[in-house]
Amino acid sequence: EPTDEALINYWHEFLQTSYGQSNVPDWFVKLQYVIQSQEREDEPSQGQDVTQEEWMVLSDLHTPFENSEGIPDSAHDWHLDRVNYSEQHIREMPTWIKTKKEDYRFSEMQKLAYDIVKSNFDDASSEKESLCLIINGVAGTGKSYLINAIRNLLQGKCAFTATTGKAAYNIKGVTVHSLLTYRVKRLQENLNNVEYIIIDEYSMLGQVTFGWIDKRGKQATGCNGKVFGGKSLILTGDPGQLPPVADKPLYHSKPSNAVGEQGYQAYHMFDKVIKVAVNQRVQGMSSEQVKFRDLLLRLRKGESTVNDWELLLTRQTSNISNLTEFEDATRLFYSNEQVGNYNHNQLAKLEHPIAHINARHSSALAKTISADDMSGLEPVVFLAKGARVMLTMNSWPSVGLCNGATGT
């Protein structure tokens, strides 16, 4: 009987065949998950995803067996259902989903961004240049919708990545750090048929990380004279969102080291920027919701008005009669002590037994280290059935167990 490792290797080899890439949905993403379970290079370590265990990889390979025993052999005449559809409807059924997926309706700027990508993709000339494109837009302007349209256009020619595990899960991709840490040979195999790399939530992409992307792209293709080794890069996100952690933003004029300088120079190769501004979520919103959204847009730019301040005053708890509607809202506190007290009170309200879960320390020294020095990991965690929890690290991004994910 084949071992788990042998099965993983068989799946790995199959995903690299043309047949596998033609018939396995999101084959590139699945290939990343398989390779994550195998040995990686020790560069760079910051933000690196947790290596998958064998049971995680094998769960993707398993197809549940549906037992048909016990299902009655119905004599239903299915021709009676057929009369509800015209001949044209029946002819369209085999390709209906594919047609609907391709029937994208864009705003003007979405269409412009899509056409730029399509024009580059359709260019079959030997003088074709790699595409360096930035797509900016605040929340609700249809960036994810546009990414899905580009996915459908490029098929297996594009690798989808993001700066965080949650963002990567949302676009059915992998984190950019996981893409960086493959061995050169495997990176070359992964990117062999890939012409485009999309990086979502790029505001959190720092100069050093961007420099590593440039380095790894050149290592994968051997084209040291071309930025990213000749691969096309598409950055999507909102520059007004969170900046990179322990790194400088791409636009910072004083890089911290040589790799950061390389990232800074690579960033200046982006000569096309599209701003999608039409908010697709506004339709159907009340006037109060639109007013609050506009307030937030001014707040992010530091352009708040006196009217904004007065509106916020009306939302103080002393002025709100429907506080019960906000029972599930996230609370922000000034101190960890206040956080602990609030969470303890919420656990008590569940009226379920509270479990005391003690950390398993690797040594006596580890036991003395504070939670602040352990990325917030407390020595004791209190949980109860129905308690809402949030993950603060990437445990298994491919199934949504990533930093920021919440559940009970």
Beta-carbon-side half-sphere exposure of residue 346 (alpha carbons within 13 Å) = 18
pLDDT for position 281: 63
Would you give the distance in Å from CA 244 to the centre of its chain? 16
- Under the banding of pLDDT at 50, 70 and 90, the label for residue 284 is low
219, part of any domain: yes
**Total count of domains within the chain:** 4
Residue 343 located in a structural domain: yes
Strands 174-175 and 355-358, bridge-based pairing: unpaired
For 12, the domain range is 4-34
Residue 97 within a domain? no
Q: How confident is the model at residue 41 (pLDDT cuts 50, 70, 90)?
A: very low
112 and 256 assigned to the same domain: yes
390 has pLDDT over 90? no
Average pLDDT, the chain: 81
Taking CA 227 as the corner, what is the angle to CA 161 and CA 240, rounded to the nearest 5 degrees?
50
User: Is 270 domain-assigned?
Assistant: yes
- Using CA atoms, how far apart are residues 408 and 347, in angstroms rounded to an integer? 12
- Mean local confidence (pLDDT), 371-381: 77
- Flag whether pLDDT at 46 surpasses 60: no
Separation between Cα atoms, residue 128 and residue 295, nearest integer Å: 44
3-state secondary structure of 117: helix
Regarding whether 169 and 215 lie in a shared domain, the answer is yes
Start-to-end Cα distance in the chain: 38
Give yes or no: residues 148 and 210 share one domain.
yes
Tell how strand 406-407 and strand 389-390 pair up.
antiparallel
Judge whether 171 lies within some domain.
yes
CA-to-CA dists, residue 286 to 137, 153, 172, 289, 324, angstroms: 22, 35, 32, 5, 20
Give CA–CA dist 178/174, Å, rounded: 7
Which of residues 265, 295, 320 is at a domain's end?
320
Same domain, 334 and 385: yes
